[in-house]
Amino acid sequence: MKERTKLLIIISIFLGCYYIPWAHPIIRQSGLEAFMMLQEYAREHILTCLIPAFFIAGAIAVFVSQASVLKYFGATARKILSYSVASVSGTVLAVCSCTVLPLFAGIYTRGAGIGPATAFLYSGPAINVLAIVLTARILGLELGMARAIGAILFAVITGLLMAFIFRKDDAARSAGKIYLPDEKEKGRSLMQEGLFMLTMVLILVFAAFAKPAEGSSSIWPAIFAAKWYITGGLLIILAVIIMAWFTKEERGNWVESTWGFMKQIFPLLGAGVLVAGFMLGRPGHPALIPEHYIQSLVGGNSLWANLFASVSGALMYFATLTEVPILQGLIGAGMGKGPALSLLLAGPALSLPNLLVIGGVMGVKKTAAFCGIIVILSTIAGMTYGWIFG
């Protein structure tokens, strides 16, 4: 972080402390809601959900080679393989909307086709493994699955449409492969690495296993009752795997990568939770913005509500994971399920600052088409989801 940015943050905090009328009942209630929401996150989501997810993201960043992903984006690569890799790259690379920009610029300027490159550009932040896990945990499995499936489909559809619209421009560009360094020999089989990842995913699943509703089939209460025994057993298995199959240097790199994600995301997430709680409150607890304002703009499942949510998401900047607490507050204030999905699908992958950077890489015309495709697809997806589950 630049020193100028630090100074601006300090000045902003000082001005907030100095001028915000904390004696006003609504402001006081909003401040209480901010810290109540932060406490809720700390108690219910950090240890059992985010910490395991951070370790998974760190392992992906260290043990899954980025070279093995990016080398399939060349203009001469097979389309099925190229788009398949591009559409799920977010789960592999675990990048945010800012981190994906230099990666996109690199692969596009070095010969990647416009289709796979834009599929990767959308997929990178949209299918961030941390964001998908947190969405399912906070906003419900239904919305989390819809976000994951929609993001993968959007990446493919967006890439194919961009490749079709700009097929002449793509053909005129110098075709070529992207040459990346050879992968180093790791000394582990694919099955061993797969078992390592699977163990961590199972730890996440059982640690975050929520208490089933009354009247559920007997298997779910039984799993919930045994969740910590199962999690403990999986942790022992993970410890054996780490000591037996990974070197000291690899373990250090994994911890360092995990810590990198944590120190980058935790402050942003905490700030996002506080802002969302202050402005919107928790579900059923009013805060600064009255609920009827939210309901009038994005309530229900109308075309306007979904389009407004999509365009707002495309222009607003969401730091990694902050869209989840913001949406939690919006949904509690009356936002419809369809517009919520529209914002989730358009928001993390786009923002006004990002669009300016993308425009400098591939031009205004292609950037406008890219943004328009995502806004339209997000609106359609939101209306469809709201119609089915609303």
Q: What is the pLDDT of residue 73?
A: 67
What DSSP letter does each residue of 223-247 carry, written as one string? Answer: HHHHHHHHHHHHHHHHHHHHHHHS-
Q: What is the pLDDT of residue 373?
A: 95
Residue 274 has pLDDT above 60, yes or no: yes
Of residues 141 and 86, which shows the higher confidence score?
141
What's this model's pTM, rounded to 2 decimal places? 0.65
- Residues in the chain, total: 390
Average pLDDT, the chain: 79
43-57, 74-88, 352-366: least confident range: 74-88
What is the pLDDT confidence band of residue 182, given thresholds at 50, 70 and 90?
low
What is the pLDDT confidence band of residue 380, given thresholds at 50, 70 and 90?
very high
Percent of the chain with pLDDT over 90: 12
48-52, 91-95, 252-256: least confident range: 91-95
Q: Which amino acid is at 289?
A: I
What is the pLDDT confidence band of residue 81, given thresholds at 50, 70 and 90?
confident
pLDDT digits (tens, 9 = 90+) for 38-58: 888 788 777 777 788 778 777
The tokens of 235 are what? 């942790």
Of residues 152 and 77, which shows the higher confidence score?
152
CA dihedral 325, 327, 329, 331 (to 10 degrees): -150
Residue 126 has pLDDT above 80, yes or no: no
Of residues 195 and 350, which shows the higher confidence score?
195
Q: What is the pLDDT of residue 371?
A: 92
Residue 228 has pLDDT above 80, yes or no: yes
> Do 323 and 347 contact (CB within 8 A), yes or no?
yes
As a whole number, mean pLDDT of residues 349-353 equals 73
Q: What is the pLDDT of residue 1?
A: 59
As a whole number, mean pLDDT of residues 111-117 equals 78
Q: What is the pLDDT of residue 176?
A: 47
What DSSP letter does each residue of 267-334 carry, written as one string? Answer: HHHHHHHHHHHHHH-STT---SS-HHHHHHHH-TT-HHHHHHHHHHHHHS---TTTHHHHHHHHHHTT
Residue 289 has pLDDT above 70, yes or no: yes
> Do 24 and 269 contact (CB within 8 A), yes or no?
no
- Cα 1 vs. chain centroid, distance in angstroms? 22
Q: What is the pLDDT of residue 96?
A: 57
Q: What is the pLDDT of residue 111?
A: 66
pLDDT digits (tens, 9 = 90+) for 297-322: 888 788 999 999 898 888 776 656 66
Dist. CA 234–CA 228, nearest whole Å: 10
Of residues 217 and 5, which shows the higher confidence score?
5
